[in-house]
Structure 1
Amino acid sequence: MAPGRAVRTRGGVPVILTRLARSGRGGWLLLVAGLVAAFALPWLIYPPVALDIACWALFAASVDLLLGFTGLLSFGHAAFWGGSAYCTGLIALHTGMPFPVAIAGGAVFTALLALPIGFLSVRLSGIYFAMVTLAFAQMIYFVANQWRDVTGGENGLQGIPRELFGLDLSDSFFFYYAGLPFVLAGLFAAWRIVRSPFGRVLVSIRANPDRARALGYPVDRYKLQAFVLSAALAGTAGGVFSVGHGFASLEGVYWTTSGQAVMMVILGGIGTLWGGAIGAALIVQLQDFLATAGFAETGIITGTIFIVVVLLFRRGIWGTARHLLITRRTPATPADVAAEPKKSVDTPV
């Protein structure tokens, strides 16, 4: 671009981004950019913090699968994150199995745990569903706290091994790449779920459950399946987190863990799936920065940022960006009409 030449925009959006969004190639470019960022992350920041971002990104995606695509706000997902952390740690400590088997065992455990909880919860909606899931999560917290012989009580499980056929994964930098495939597989599974016919039904249930029921869809069954799948993804994230840090604690099953995941989803954008990763990166990095600086009341800063983002970006950070690139209708320039003769001037961005 020549010096002093202005970038052509349409409605405040650069034309090149508009064309990418119209051509369908923008999604692939974002996917490549996301993968590059995921693999480069431990080179840019402290590896344990990079692992935290990856795990919380998957956890936020699991919450968004339920909130953004099914319309169910759960404050009980800490039970699955923390429950899987304990189960994964127990398998790794007492059986000596490789950590991938332990993580898979934790994910299966949380899926089984979600069956009765979801069966009793999905018949409700709105604040009633949120409160019931919160009550079940607090029950899991009470069990983890009182069953000291198994969970370690307030001390938690410590020294969870990273066994993988004799490989030395004691360095957090190397374990990041060993645990990253689980996170990427979980994110891919979430993406396939929302893009499948099953995901379309979930969206219709979110929009109008009575109409979906009238069309013959068993609404409660679909909600239960979404709840179990979401729990399994949250359990996968919790298992990677516990092995990566070598411990499982009561904090993982406390309700504030669920609240933090919900906050990440809202910051990134509800119903965007990938917005949770942006929210996770923002919150985890900010908490690490404040903790390193010796600032104890991190909740004040994160809460303030949350309020500002909600007020300025009602769709969240990524949701607002996607809205500008995809859903905003803007007039096309003569050059764009000549380049795309088959498209209307009012084609959505």
Structure 2
Amino acid sequence: MSDLVLHITGARPNFPKAAPVIRALAALGVSQKLVHTGQHYDERMSEVFFRQLGLPEPDVNLEVGSGTHAKQTAAIMTGLEDLFEAERPGMLVVYGDVNSTVAAALVAAKMQIPLAHVEAGLRSFDPSMPEEVNRLVTDRLSDLLFATSPDAVAHLGNEGVAPEKIHFVGNPMIDTLLANIDRFDQDKARTELGLADRYVVATLHRPGNVDDPADAAALVKAMHAVADQAEVVLPLHPRGRGRLQAAGLFDHPALRVIDPLGYVEFLGLVRGAAAVVTDSGGVQEETTMLGVPCLTLRPNTERPVTITHGTNQLVTRERLPQIVEAVLTAGRAESWPTPPLWDGRAGERIAQVIAARLR
């Protein structure tokens, strides 16, 4: 095997995590290539991130597209196996908890290629979440586990991972946020969308909220109650769009559904929001750093540090309107805690460990 590092990405959340790691490894002179599996293939869901984050164009794009979990994971594994056979990399770096991540981990284990997992150790303890399965499998197969928070380190230790494999490095997604924060123009976002001074941003796509028609209907009812209090803008993920539309999501005059936004545009919108309603993992982290009240529509979170050291709280659909009312009345805090090592240098720490391992 060579000293080549392959970065495996495939979905929107991967790119802000990969960018600072790639940049830091380049500064150390490490040979690397970027692989995009094409799990997210819509321009607004992936390609725009390469332009905005200064990522190099992918050296390889497998263009696997959508499908069931099994079909998509299998297609990624097949493509990666051929690629790894041709490249014989010295290490793979995978990010987060998407299907591309677990697919790469499985192929790496079969081919005996060292594996580094960025964002290791996160746990929701909810086996019904596909992402939880992906996290558990990837961490079990990884040689280097890069944790973003102390609770993640503890989870890995409790699962019997050898201490020398675990590295608490901070959060590379926050590196990207801090590097671009001056570009997040809330006034521009408000003006371009014609929003009122006080508005709420929502992102909703988790299976537990949108897959079952009854859940989708309950979600729409809750979101309409939020829109009774403040204008809501919802950049809507393709997943679940049809069910939410059928449940009447688009019918409230103060609820604006728009297409997904680029990274800079979305965080400009979030930065000016009175509150964010989400079921996304990454948004919980971004709002924590921006000081925006975050209401997470899930029974659990794999990112509890955003609750103990941030602006996040878990809410149910039934209580959401009441909690939004309280948040709007209280307004945004002038100061708030932030998690340890979320300081913009996680990518550098990760790169140093990888470079040392390659040597």
Q: TM-score range by the shorter chain?
A: under 0.3
Greater relative contact order (Cα 8 A, min sep 6): structure 1 or 2? 1
Structure ranking higher in strand proportion: 2
Bigger Rg over Cα: 1
TM-score, structure 1 length as denominator? Answer: 0.28
TM-score, structure 2 length as denominator? Answer: 0.27
Structure ranking higher in helix proportion: 1
